[in-house]
Structure 1
């Protein structure tokens, strides 16, 4: 699998990573979005990801209050991986906290991920009881203390991202990433200045929810009864209602057509487009709750979309800019 530099750092990451929110063991407000997965299933998902060429994993403090981090570290250890073999990203939860919490919680983050270091530490969302500058400086302190390797943000608009970038630059540290919701059914980062700022500043855009909660697989269009059987609140989102399904159907039909031409799936085509349409700027972190999901994720890199296919997908997904 192709690898790219993580922002302006020396870290190389695969174009597809693995999002680990689903490893929360069903704990807490955010963990309840997913059914608890057995440890054996978690290990199978990570094993399939590694075998397919994925070399990095994204988790967070709030994903089960450390349970996802521990599940990831435990599975990697059982699979024989050692520190330095993979790239690990996690996130600090800001609200209702101040910047000092970044320093105060780093020990817990390192303990949950032990023996693996934190290669990328991210500010999970923009709302905190402190300023962007104070948070960026606290992250810079951790880099200089050798506690983390690089700094990223998540859910930051262009203005906040530029502010964090400027603060870190004054410390001689790059802002390497911004993790944003981005898929063919949510292309707002292309129209609100975030993607343009990432390209300008050399910041990697990490696309989370790149399959729009599974909508881009086409399975919910094919069988809408699956929606009510899905765990968590996704079934209540407008995009899952009858009108939302009708709006996205032309795109789904085109993804199916292109997938058939490549011996791929609609999900793989959607991931391939995201990771390649904007050059080297975007990487994707789909999740997986089964081994076959992980195998499908890595298969998204096994073919090349033609310029015409890239254009057709672009045109049909433009209503979601």
Structure 2
């Protein structure tokens, strides 16, 4: 399976990684039910078997539960440190940069290949101080590279400049990107990332399931989604009506490739933006992981890519 360089770090990752918010253990404040460890094991094994070699987690996913569950699943799948790429995120809310190194123990024995600042606000230390602490972890050999998440173009520049003072490149910025959310093209994030050689990691690349077509086909499923998830993602009868032409085109292209609409939506992401964008869909079943991995094998034509690009603009106006 072809890989891409993470920013200008030399770290190689699969163009599709596996997000692990679903491994957060359930409970208040999460969108997902608790998954027993054996089920997490089968999901991670399915991702590995499909060619995914990069796994993304965060402290904020269940206060470290996702990190520990992912580490256990990788070990249970027979993986050794260095066999896969692992990324995580530190939550700055109400804390100083001195706590940035706390994530390392949760993922042991797997090293932190990419350590990210989860949000650019709420911390008791400035972005520059946080970037400096990250650089010190790289210099100490405790992590391999540094990224950010939810950062604006200007905030990316700030982190990039501080890291550069220590000879460390800013590897990535993890932001929402999908066919129904293309703000990176107008807010400066895409242009800045390309200019500085930063990889953009697309989270919620399937718009919380909207781009799979399942909610369009069976609208009773919408009522089963947690209310907070519906509100944050804008899933409603009106939004399903508006996006139906795009889903229909995804399905048409999927039929031509013997794939699913969701796989085509992922393939568009890693095709349209070139090597700049990679994606981290989540999975709550082995089938979801298999589907995500399969998207890397889809070669969209220029015409198919253009049709999806044009339709996505039309349905989001």
Which TM-score band applies after superposition, normalised by the shorter structure?
Answer: over 0.9
Post-superposition Cα deviations, 1:82-119, rounded to whole Å, max 9, x if no partner, equal 100111100000111122222xxx2x422211111111
2:237 pairs, out of 221, 236, 242, with 242
2:105 pairs, out of 98, 108, 111, with 111
Residue 70 (structure 1) aligned with residue 65 (structure 2) = no
- Distance, in Å, in 2 between the alignment partners of 1:232 and 1:125 is 23
1:267 pairs, out of 224, 240, 262, with 262
Residue 215 (structure 1) aligned with residue 213 (structure 2) = no
Structure 2: runs of 5 or more not aligned: none
Residue 161 (structure 1) aligned with residue 156 (structure 2) = yes
Question: How far does residue 303 in structure 1 lie from its aligned partner after superposition?
Answer: 2.1
- Distance, in Å, in 2 between the alignment partners of 1:267 and 1:33 is 20
TM-score by length of 1: 0.95
Question: How far does residue 195 in structure 1 lie from its aligned partner after superposition?
Answer: 0.8
Say whether the 8 Å CA contact 1:28–1:64 is kept in structure 2.
no
- Partner-residue secondary structure (3-state), 1:88: strand
Post-superposition Cα deviations, 1:23-47, rounded to whole Å, max 9, x if no partner, equal 0011452xx2100011111011100
Residue 301 (structure 1) aligned with residue 296 (structure 2) = yes
Residue 21 (structure 1) aligned with residue 15 (structure 2) = no
Q: How does 1:92-111 map to 2 (within 5 A)?
A: 92-102=90-100, 106=101, 108-111=102-105
Partner of 2:7: 7
Say whether the 8 Å CA contact 1:239–1:245 is kept in structure 2.
no
Change (3 A) 1:317 1:201: same
- Distance, in Å, in 2 between the alignment partners of 1:2 and 1:276 is 13
- Partner-residue secondary structure (3-state), 2:147: strand
